[in-house]
Amino acid sequence: MLRVIVPKGYGNAAAFIEKNTDWIYNKHLHLQRVIALSGEKRLEKKRADPLFYSFVESIVQRLQRELEVEVRDLTFRKMKRKWASCSSDKKLVFNRHMMYLPDNLIEFIVYHELLHLIEFKHNKRFWNLVEARYPLRQKYELELAAYWHLIKKTFY
């Protein structure tokens, strides 16, 4: 069963669904792939908190030198909706649940956030920069979605 939630204030639900049928169908297929892939994944805490923080900090230091950017502040906290965030005042926040991810996905997230110091928006230039380093970006994003599904199922 598929449940579609129409945006608040949108008068005609049937018209919305008809207009967005392809998008709804593609999102549904994507979610099916995420759920199937999450069944193949396991959450493993590879490091104690202090070691995880040091690991992420070392990636941040290495990549900010490589990208020639500067981070003002770096913090960790549990977040229910995203892996990380980057503010316009150069502050990075990383989700503590990242400690359950494989190292390559942790580095992918750090790189993604540091790129926001070069290009703040998720526009064509931003995605070109991501894909220059990570040609398999969509595979990584699918894996992250699968892990996110597991995190939500396990902790929330």
| pLDDT tens-place values along the chain, 156 residues long | 788 888 888 888 888 888 888 988 888 888 888 888 888 888 888 888 999 999 999 999 999 999 999 999 999 999 999 999 999 999 999 999 999 999 999 999 999 999 999 999 999 999 999 999 999 999 999 999 999 999 999 888
Q: At what angle do helices 103-115 and 124-133 cross, to 10 degrees?
A: 150
Domain ranges for the chain: 1-38, 49-155
Interatomic CA distance for residues 69 and 48, integer angstroms: 28
Task: Look at residue 3 in the predicted model and tell me its pLDDT.
Answer: 85
CB within 8 Å of 141: residues ≥ 6 apart: none
The CATH class for the domain spanning 49-155 reads alpha beta
Give the global pTM. 0.83
Please give the angle made by the CA atoms of 85, 25 and 7, to the nearest 5 degrees: 60
Q: Are 118 and 130 in contact (CB under 8 A)?
A: no
Task: Look at residue 65 in the predicted model and tell me its pLDDT.
Answer: 98
